[in-house]
Structure 1
Amino acid sequence: MKKPKFSASNIIFLIVIALLIIPQTRQPIQVFLQKGLAMISPSEISADKRETLKTYENWNLVDSKGNPFDFKQAEGKVVFINFWATWCPPCIAEMPSINELYADYKDDVIFLLVSNEKAETIKGFRSKNNYNFEFYQSINNAPTQLQSNSIPQTYLIDKKGSIVMNKSGAANWNSDSVRKLLDDLVASE
């Protein structure tokens, strides 16, 4: 009988599998892997394929301080919407790039980072990671065109209500292409 051969690649593979099975190491490894995937910049939807929001009405949110936000307030403005969760590795992986984008565009773009988790969980996550942007909880359903079954799900909406970007999964939101697009959208009439 032949002895099984244990090559370095087999040993590394077994270690990675073991680390993914252990709950304490699973999430950090998944976040690390997702950060590599999140280096990809999302792409803009071509003008002829963009969908326009039918309404800004009937979507209400609340921020971490309990302040209400009526989505109607976003009409006529550039809006960045991200649906996420604190337990979601791709969501965690893209948060630093969103935070950097927010730092430069918070006065010109409405950032709505929406989670359905408890406020205490969201506040703890925000504090632990020193994020500057506000997080929201949805009180009722988002407009139909902004509903998705996956997270992270991100939409970039122009002043006319057209969905310019619709990205499922982690992305690098602080890329040059996203910044140029935001500059163009903010400057447009």
Structure 2
Amino acid sequence: MTQGFALFETPIGLCGLAWGPKGLVGAQLPDPTPGASWDRLRRRHPDAVEAAPPPDVQQVVDRINDLLSGRRDDLIDVELDYDVVPPFNRRVYEVARAVPPGETITYGQIAKAIGEPGAARAIGKAMGDNPWPIIVPCHRVLGADGKPGGFSSPGGLQTKARMLTIERAKTTDAPTLFDLEFSVAPKRGR
């Protein structure tokens, strides 16, 4: 199978996937400039041919649309071609993929999970180099104390915040209005 790529509409805009014989080699979040998504995908995957997604990739497209519509799908079983990333990044991405929708993790927590507690900056670089945003949910990775950290995909932190909002992620330990409503509600008798 040769490499292929396709763009597809989602609730947040035009996304893209690129695939090869060993799985997905790339994913792309929307770009605000018309035509830029296609250009960027072609630059990142010059050997890929634009084509209709094969059935297994079409299932990923459908699942991404479900996730971006507010359904809970961790996409953890989507096959990725890890040959396109360094071994350190693969370890980082495997930890990030285990974070379910609606939850978050910090760069420092990932560093500890891979046995390199001082590597939070390197984790941030790996996240910035992530070839599979959404599937490797770099938007769920936050800085210390729930700070957003960076987000190198088009739209930057606004896109990150939008995706976390869709997933109803809690980004700090501070109670939300929903939490307060139930913690102060009067108890009713039987």
TM-score (structure 2 length as normaliser): 0.24
TM-score after normalising by structure 1:
0.24
Name which structure has the greater RCO, CA cutoff 8 Å, separation 6+: 1
